[in-house]
Structure 1
Amino acid sequence: MASPFFFVGKKKKGKLRPTQDYRRLNHRTVKNAYPLPLILDLIDKLKDATIFSKLDLRNGYNNVQIKDGDQWKAAFKTNWGLFEPTVMFFGLMNSPATFQAFMDDVLQDFIAEGWCLVYMDDILIYSESEEQHQTRTRRLLQRLKEQDLYLKLHKCRFNVHEIDFLGLIIRPGHVAMDPVKLFTGFTNFYRKFIRNYSAIVKPLYDLTKKRTPFEWTATCEAAFQTLKRRFQLELVLRMPDPKKLFIIETDTSKWASGGVLWQLGLDGELHPCGYISHAFDATKQNYEIYDRELFAIVQALETWRHYLMEGPHLARWSLVLSLFNLRLVHVPGREMVQSDVLSRRDDHIAGEDNDNEDVVLLPARLFINVVDVELQDKLKDRLGSDDFHKMTLETLMTTGLLPIKSALSDWEINDSLIQYKGQIYVPGDVVLQREIVRTIHKGQLFGHPGQFGMVDLVQRDYWWPGMVKFIKSFMDGCATCQQMKINMHPTRTGIQLIEGTLNVTLFQIITMDLVTDLPLSDGFNTIMVMVDHSSSKEAIFIPCTKKLDATQVAELLLRNVYKRYGLPDKIISDRDPRFAAMVFQETTRLLGIKHAMSTAYHPQSDGESERVN
């Protein structure tokens, strides 16, 4: 039962790795089905992370002890005799699953809290802020210390904003290919990053089929060069944001189908979140073009359904709807009287106490819609001068049919008012039309309805030619609606808060301003104000004159800040000519100081100095 033992060379010259051939043992071993994490699922959890730390565990599988009494199963033979290992070795079939289960158990609470990823001996800590990240790193290191687990320091990286993890380059909001990887053996792993991967690589895969002679044709060379160019592009995928709209693009050819998952970025451009590609077998290659196109759509929806399904209830509803052969048709609410009334029953309104609701004792016929009556009186007054109303009224009273198309026979007279399908005809009086729309628009208890809601409300009782266009024009001029409407095309961005910096020292970031035209005192009429922006808020007041130039400003900065606190990293000031002068700009550049000037006519940008002034 003992397994063979030998050495293999490591990458480092002069180093050997002891290896056991456990193939016979693995053939008789019951496989451990504990799953390894899916790399793409791990990457999706890093959407909001901005800072990372990667830890690499020392000795890997050797950290797991073999159960007492089972060591003989992994025995191996050497020229010095038989040896039984006390810890788990590489080569055992269940080593990966066992080690993954071990790591998941050790760090299960950190994984559940959503800031730790574990893939075998690789551990990734991710956070949204540096302070939060330091706390999490200390907790994880303490846990490893308690479990007697040690790290390879030269493979660890701490507190970085870009890191290589599982063959990918991770940075805030992005995931990209690792340019160090070799071409051979990793193209399939990176198919997520390559658009139309299956179609491109098909000539190369055909060479690997059984009973196929290896013949490197011009098509193979073109596919090989295309793949190399695609990898050199270093394509970057965006982290999918489930709160934003997804856009799917699909296409198909004779041999394969492909798809792209897009999302709109902050720059207003579409960015890819993923690529899929599927090579057609002989059966699918015989599909009609519309079948192949539909297959590409279905494949994309199934692949990214975990992004596209907004919630479990939608999944359940879609399953129920799939049991019926139905067609959904939209019908306006005014044409669905019965169901519209049932959906608005007073006793179904949430939050009302039906046991104590008010009871109206007077009959409904005593209540009159005063607004409608007033509008109808005004309508009757204005209809006298409307030629169309006169002609139509005379025709209906004499012949009962309009002298126009017979399809418009739904007109009738009601108390000297003309109605078309129950809607009162309004003459072409702009003042009257505006009053009708304004009365309905402002008379709603639930607030000002939108454009489509207003059209629905008005056309329940009134009609005139061009009514929809008139209502839209009225809505565009409603001050209340325009104030409450979200501006989808802002002309300028809002003021952005200047974030503080963690672990900042005194006067590492300062703000500067000049208070001029003060009463003369000891020959000075101006004060230069320097404020510690991000730490103590301490202020330095330096007397000077209004004739101060850019060179003297730089001298005061060095004399009053540098001598006490050292050179600052950043200076925030307004656009005073002395601060904007080339001399001051060149001085800050040579000293390695970042100079940020406030936005013109917006002193809020330098609020720290303005408040002190």
Structure 2
Amino acid sequence: MIQPSKCVFGTDTVEYLGHIVTKDGVRPDPRKIQAVRNYPTPRSVKEVRAFIGLAGYYRCHVRNFAEIAKPLTKLTRKDSPFEWGPEQQEAFVKLKNELSQEPLLIYPDFSQPFIVACDASTKAVGAILSQVKDGEERPVAYCSRQLNSAESKYSITELELLALIFAVKQFRCYLYGRQFKVYTDHRALKWLLNLQDPSSRLTRWAVKLFEYDFTVEHRPNSKMRHVDALSRCIQIVTGDYSLTKEKIKEAQENDLLCEKYKVSEKFWLDEDQVLYYEGQEGCPLVVIPRELVGPVLKCYHELPFTAHQGIARTIAAIRRKYWWESLNRDVTEYINACEARAKRKTGNKIMAPLGESLDAKEFLDIVSLDVVGPLPVTDSGNKYLLTFVDQFTRFCEAIPTPTREAEVIAREFVMRIITQYGVPKKLLTDRGAAFMSALMKETCKMLKIQKLQNSSYNAQANGICERMPKLLIDMISHFVK
């Protein structure tokens, strides 16, 4: 159901999640950018990370964001001394200035062809989706990602094709079923798909590209600076808990249990001789030998972004990529022994304070609603009564209704009570489905009525309104056989 309070009609500009959506495109919200402009000069690594996180939310609007922010990201490396110098100050000011320009990403026009510019380095791959508008190539979206240790050893041709595979995967919703151009600074891509005997990896990638309709156009490096920045200027982050494919392979070779797994049908080796296990629905999972169980558990429980999650979430996160026989038991024992989690995590007990009593001061200060029924069906098809009581005057009214659905209750409340007596300040009800519905809450919100409800199984909290149904039933019983 649409909530009117969250809707804006008859406007060509909308604020949404820190962005301004206009008829021309999407740009950052100036009020949010003001927080970046006014950000004080960082004095610690923690403040540098906070600024990069704040500015990074709008990185899709800033070309060469990673390149500009590189002097700042250097300060966040482990064991790197915090030294704020001219280079860092220049990067800090330049980032704020770039965001102050409010760069615009245009909307995709599906009647016009798309252009994919992709590039790769030994550190990352990047791509830009763009279209020609008003005679100028304008960006629609940016994307980039880092390479793992195995991918960084690919040949330049394989890297360029990997960048294209990554680009079409990220922009599939724009490109699938449409003809588009691919710009690259590597000539080999133009004839790569026509090779008679390509390697197995190139064959698999080429097959993935067969479902797309595109032409490859070579552009010299001097005309690909915008996409080069996405692939060549990304900081590769490393840490004590990083697991490379080489480490896993070496540990598997020294593990006796992994050697036994190799003869089983559910296990196989990839082209790099790393052992995998066939998980649910055939999903390949890396087999973790015993000596790497500890580092894996640290990665998924102790790093800052994992936030010391519980047992179930940690197991689910690990099972997306890794497998070993005693995974459940090891995770349970590890988390139960985690001192940091024991100090910070508390139980789910909620101590509710005693609430203040509600005392009405005037008519329509506090009103109550309740539903009585089902009762014998009348000639008009009604079998419920919507009871209304004013807490100050004790004035009451009973309105017959055919059902107790939220739409009926909300309509009768507005048409039979509010239009006749006025808008109350507070509405007290029980926790019935009709009163707790989003429609009823939205009705009160629009009319600026404070919505209150009893606690569960505590009817005496609304004793005045709860007494009325008993009186009504007693009265009606004398007229119904």
Same fold (TM over 0.5): no
User: TM-score by structure 1 length?
Assistant: 0.24
User: TM-score by structure 2 length?
Assistant: 0.30
**Higher relative contact order (CA closer than 8 Å, sequence separation 6+):** 2
